[in-house]
Structure 1
Amino acid sequence: MALIILGHPDYKNSIANKTVIEALEKSSLPTEIRNIHDLYPDYKIDIKAEQEALLRHQTIVFQYPFFWYNMPAILKQWFDEVFAYQFAYGAKGDKLKGKNFVPSFTVGSSESSYSVLGSQHFRVYEFCKNLEQTALFAQMNYIDPIYFHGTSIAAGYTENDIKNNAEQHAQKLINRLAELE
């Protein structure tokens, strides 16, 4: 069973992330989905409950929208508090050792904008080094991110296009999770 840490600050109005989560829920894969924004709207994270959830699973997926070249604030705070000293790192901090760390996110703008000549100037993978280092520091197996571009209506994408791409993304994620189990 995979643990899905959903870090979307406006999930109810999401198209892409909601489509991905709904596809996971309909799939035959057993998952535990923790919508941390709904669980902790005041950002007061129950560290023990989150650590216990991590301990129950071999594969942990972090599902979120790519915000300002990073993760939303609630997910960053979740990492800051849950990946604690002597739990995720430190002399006795090996509780996540060998677990799979799977980033899965949506990117608002086009793929071409994430290039040296594009408006973002860097490829998406270049913004993921902090994720990779976090996984490595916690002795986890970093799995290359699964993501797709074009999830913003404000950037000119249609709801139908976003849903179709999110369904394809979800299938890639489901396939990856099946391989890891």
Structure 2
Amino acid sequence: MKTLVVIAHPNIETSVVNNRWVEELKKHPEQYTIHEIYKVYPDGKIDVEREQKLVESHGNLIFQFPIFWFNCPPLLKQWMDDVLAHGWAFGQGGDNLQGRKLALAVSAGIRNEDYSDNGRYQFTLEQILVPFKTTALYCKADYRSFFAFYGAEYEPSKSEIEQSAHDYLEFLKAL
């Protein structure tokens, strides 16, 4: 089955990294469905039934987003709150994520070394993303960690961005 990639970037057109990743994914429509929730729901009103059917019709589930205040953009949080409902994603009868591979693809504005026990923020990106892993575990999904690009705020070179697009696809293929 195809992989559903939920893109949660409020300004994808101005993004350097996430936009390049989307371009790369579009080269493989037989493998990836790109779902840009900020474009689909500009008013923030999520069609829960539509979203649940979309997830059900795919195999793997990827959340792709830039790190916002050490979390995801607000529409992705709302998407998760609404779509991953009791009786659908967890609880009695809520088995639609059970065994489904779930992973993250994130771009971080700051450098890798800033995300360390001794770094500027004193937490690793893995630690910051624990709520996503916990959500996956709670829904009995098969959490497969995350792919990250660090230093997006520091004007990465074209070759760094190109390499990240290649590495992102390799990460997805290895799921």
TM bucket by the smaller chain? over 0.9
The equivalent residue for 1:168 is: 163
CA–CA separation in structure 2 for the residues paired with 1:124 and 1:20: 20
Question: How many residues get paired?
Answer: 174
CA shift at 1:109, angstroms?
Answer: 0.6
CA–CA separation in structure 2 for the residues paired with 1:83 and 1:166: 32
The equivalent residue for 1:40 is: 41
- When structure 1 is superposed on structure 2, of 117-126 and 82-91 the one drifting more is 117-126
| Runs of at least 5 residues in structure 1 that lack an aligned partner in the other structure | none
CA shift at 1:174, angstroms?
Answer: 1.4
Q: What is the root-mean-square deviation in Å for CA atoms of aligned residues?
A: 1.4
The equivalent residue for 1:95 is: 96
When residues 84 and 42 of structure 1 are mapped into structure 2, their CA distance, relative to the original with a 3 A threshold, is: same
Asked if structure 2 preserves the Cα contact closer than 8 Å seen for 1:2 and 1:32, the reply is: yes
User: 4+ residue runs of structure 1 moved beyond 3 angstroms?
Assistant: none
After superposition, the C-alpha distances for 1:19-69 in whole angstroms (9 at most, x for unaligned) are: 111011124752111100010011100111110110011101110001111
CA–CA separation in structure 2 for the residues paired with 1:143 and 1:93: 20
CA–CA separation in structure 1 for the residues paired with 2:147 and 2:53: 25
CA–CA separation in structure 2 for the residues paired with 1:115 and 1:166: 22
- When structure 1 is superposed on structure 2, of 114-123 and 48-57 the one drifting more is 114-123
Identity of aligned residues (%): 33
Asked if structure 2 preserves the Cα contact closer than 8 Å seen for 1:29 and 1:174, the reply is: no
Q: How does 1:106-145 map to 2 (within 5 A)?
A: 106-145=107-146
Q: Secondary structure of 1:145's match?
A: strand
CA–CA separation in structure 1 for the residues paired with 2:29 and 2:164: 16
The equivalent residue for 1:12 is: 13
Q: How does 1:45-124 map to 2 (within 5 A)?
A: 45-124=46-125
The equivalent residue for 1:147 is: 148
Q: Secondary structure of 1:176's match?
A: helix
Aligned: 1:177 with 2:165: no
Report the TM-score when normalising by structure 2: 0.94
When residues 72 and 89 of structure 1 are mapped into structure 2, their CA distance, relative to the original with a 3 A threshold, is: same
Report the TM-score when normalising by structure 1: 0.91
| Runs of at least 5 residues in structure 2 that lack an aligned partner in the other structure | none
CA–CA separation in structure 1 for the residues paired with 2:20 and 2:71: 21
Q: Secondary structure of 2:103's match?
A: strand
CA–CA separation in structure 2 for the residues paired with 1:58 and 1:107: 26
Q: Secondary structure of 1:69's match?
A: coil
